[in-house]
């Protein structure tokens, strides 16, 4: 039996500049943090010689090509698996909530399949193989961020150029870890969303070099670099200001990025002293990330409105095989 586990993520800065439509023209810069919420995949042989697939649905087929789950189907095809297997997947949070679950799942499954086949793969190569399946084979409007942070873990700097991509983890100390845990809060909006439409529109506008979209992403990248400078100093003091500015610009990319429920949550956080808040991921739903020096009042008000929320920690380890 193979058990693979991969962390989900929050984008700390520069999100959206990891799409090829942007960084092939202007270069991209993203800084992300893996968090202690995970995707888990379990694989074992099936002596019945069929494929039993368990996720939010259940599939039982005798041929890989008949599997409905697109990512699972393409990952199994990649390894030319013809003998039956059982595969189950679990997530600490719902899919479609902006924490990079699709990319993390693809990384997690590929890592499990490499272990199942008794093969090794580098973290870097795993990023590109997972990205290739989602972007080039399944034609999803995705960037590299989710695959990269899922593979490497920790706090990851990603630099995107026309002909090369660089990944590097930032060394952080105990004080930074404590501040991260005490100052960040994730709040569930109560509904999931499909980010495909928002990302497709962003991709389309960037491809035709829409001035407003390019300038918006240029500014997001600038804020990402400012975030990096602060984190390199193990300092989160200015992050509230940066996240607030990020949200003001992010909302301008697409009218569906925010809605009444998201605005309600952010208004609650603002009124209770948050320095800044934003939607995590492409927008339209999922989780709101808020930053505050004192979260107790925010949590109290959120409980009154019955909004689920939780603190987060940095998951320093990326995708891993936790049992064989």
pLDDT per position as a tens digit, 178-237? 999 999 999 999 877 767 778 888 889 988 889 999 999 999 999 999 999 999 888 888
Give the model's pLDDT for residue 281: 86
Give the integer Cα–Cα distance in Å for 132 and 263. Answer: 35
Give the model's pLDDT for residue 126: 98
Give the integer Cα–Cα distance in Å for 194 and 283. Answer: 9
First to last CA, the chain: 5
Q: Number of C-alpha atoms within 13 angstroms, CB side, residue 186?
A: 25
* 216-229 burial: b if 16+ Cβ within 10 Å, else e: bbebbbebbebbbe
Q: What contacts 204, CB < 8 A, 6 or more positions away?
A: none
Q: What contacts 130, CB < 8 A, 6 or more positions away?
A: 103, 106, 107, 110, 147, 150, 151
Is residue 166 within 8 Å of 119, Cβ to Cβ?
no
Give the model's pLDDT for residue 47: 82
Output the pTM of the full model.
Answer: 0.94
Domains detected in the chain: 2-171 (3.30.230.10), 174-311 (3.30.70.890)
Residues 201-214: tens digit of each pLDDT: 888 998 888 999 99
Give the model's pLDDT for residue 69: 96
Low-confidence ranges of the chain (pLDDT < 50): none
Give the model's pLDDT for residue 115: 96
Give the integer Cα–Cα distance in Å for 130 and 109. Answer: 9
Is residue 233 within 8 Å of 36, Cβ to Cβ?
no
Give the model's pLDDT for residue 190: 84
Is residue 147 within 8 Å of 166, Cβ to Cβ?
no
- How many other β-carbons are positioned within 10 Å of the β-carbon of residue 82? 10
**DSSP labels, 115-146:** HHTT----HHHHHHHHHIIIIIIS-----SHH
- From residue 214, how far is each of 25, 27, 205, 220, 284 by CA, in Å? 10, 11, 8, 10, 21
Give the model's pLDDT for residue 215: 95
Among 35, 44, 32, 33, CA closest to 3: 44
């Amino acid at each position: 039996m193979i058990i693979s586990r991969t962390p989900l993520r929050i984008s700390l800065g520069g999100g959206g500049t990891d799409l090829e439509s942007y960084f092939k023209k202007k270069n991209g810069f993203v800084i992300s943090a893996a968090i202690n919420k995970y995707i888990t995949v379990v694989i074992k042989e099936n002596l019945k010689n069929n494929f039993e697939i368990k996720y939010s649905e259940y599939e039982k087929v005798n041929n890989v090509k008949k599997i409905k789950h697109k990512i699972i189907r393409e990952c199994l095809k990649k390894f030319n698996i013809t003998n039956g297997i059982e595969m189950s997947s679990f997530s600490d949070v719902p899919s479609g909530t902006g924490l990079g679950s699709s990319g993390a799942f693809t990384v997690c499954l590929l890592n499990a399949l490499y272990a199942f086949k008794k093969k090794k793969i580098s973290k870097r190569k795993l990023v590109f193989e997972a990205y290739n399946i989602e972007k080039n084979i399944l034609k999803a409007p995705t960037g590299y961020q989710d695959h990269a942070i899922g593979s490497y873990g920790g706090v990851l700097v990603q630099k995107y150029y026309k002909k090369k991509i660089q990944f590097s983890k930032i060394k952080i100390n105990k004080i930074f870890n404590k501040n991260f845990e005490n100052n960040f809060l994730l709040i569930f909006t109560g509904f999931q969303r499909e980010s495909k439409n928002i990302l497709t529109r962003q991709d389309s506008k960037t491809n035709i070099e829409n001035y407003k979209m390019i300038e918006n992403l240029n500014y997001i990248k600038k804020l990402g670099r400012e975030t990096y400078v602060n984190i390199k100093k193990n300092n989160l003091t200015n992050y509230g200001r940066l996240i607030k500015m990020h949200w003001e610009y992010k909302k301008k990319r697409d009218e569906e990025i925010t809605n009444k429920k998201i605005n309600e949550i952010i208004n609650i956080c603002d009124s209770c002293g948050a320095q800044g808040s934003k939607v995590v991921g492409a927008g339209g739903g999922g989780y709101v990330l808020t930053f505050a020096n004192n979260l107790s009042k925010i949590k109290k008000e959120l409980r009154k409105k019955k909004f689920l929320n939780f603190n987060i920690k940095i998951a320093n380890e990326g995708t891993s095989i936790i049992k064989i």
